[in-house]
Amino acid sequence: MILSSGLVGHGSPTEFFTFASLSEVGVANATTTKHCPGITSFAEPILPEAPKPPFRDEAAHVLSATGLDMGRVGYARQVHGADVARIPAGGGFGGLVDILVTGERGVPLAIFTADCLAIVLCDASAGALAVAHVGWRGTVKGATQRAVRAIGDVGGRAGSLRAAIAPSIGPCCYEVDEPVTAELARAFGDRWRAWATPSRAGRVMLDLWSANEALLVEAGVAPGSIENPRLCTACHPDLLYSYRRGNRGRLVTLAALP
């Protein structure tokens, strides 16, 4: 059984949540709301050799309350793929990738979203951490499975992982059409239909939560070690940004090894 919500809210109004399952093993973590100040949107182009800092001073101040060292954050320009960058002890820019991994203690890894899934994977005992940005394209390209393999590259084991899925768009609001379902069919055969509910002609409501939970389990993660609050970004415009709802802001999910 997948764990239900263990999100703990911080601030009034809530500026960020922490995942109970990650906090239990000493992993500093946060997933922000639209009320967290100072998060830089990555909507504008940036150069790999000269990236803009992802956090302004006010964000660093708020998020430092979690124990995260905001001066060492690892981040990337996300491109809806399945490539991996390993982040060193000093943190910094990982390039044009959607998966970050580290074996360094105290280095926060950051994923920016506004509907897509941010997935945190941690084997705290082995000192292995990965974060992944996964939308429908990443699901098709195998980003979730690649993130689990990346944990192995820094000494962790799939069977020892804690996984957490940040607030993201749910099957209640995520309608897709034939170009998307054709790619799902190419990657998964008829299996993708278990993750979809027909809506209008030629369209379905897609459940990326169930899809990626299933892919995590197949990659070796225990179902009871996956925390998914199933908090839909599109359903909560007062609290969260949603690209589908026309928001240009970004949420960020961070985690760091103890």
The domain segmentation of the chain, as residue ranges, is: 7-169+213-256
Q: What is the C-alpha separation between 154 and 36, in angstroms, rounded?
A: 32
pLDDT value, residue 45? 46
CATH fold of 7-169+213-256: CNF1/YfiH-like putative cysteine hydrolases (3.60.140)
pLDDT value, residue 21? 96
For residue 42, pLDDT over 90 is answered with no
pLDDT value, residue 247? 86
Q: Summarize the confidence of residues 208-227 as an average pLDDT.
A: 98
pLDDT value, residue 43? 42
How confident is residue 100, by pLDDT bands cut at 50, 70 and 90? very high
How confident is residue 40, by pLDDT bands cut at 50, 70 and 90? confident
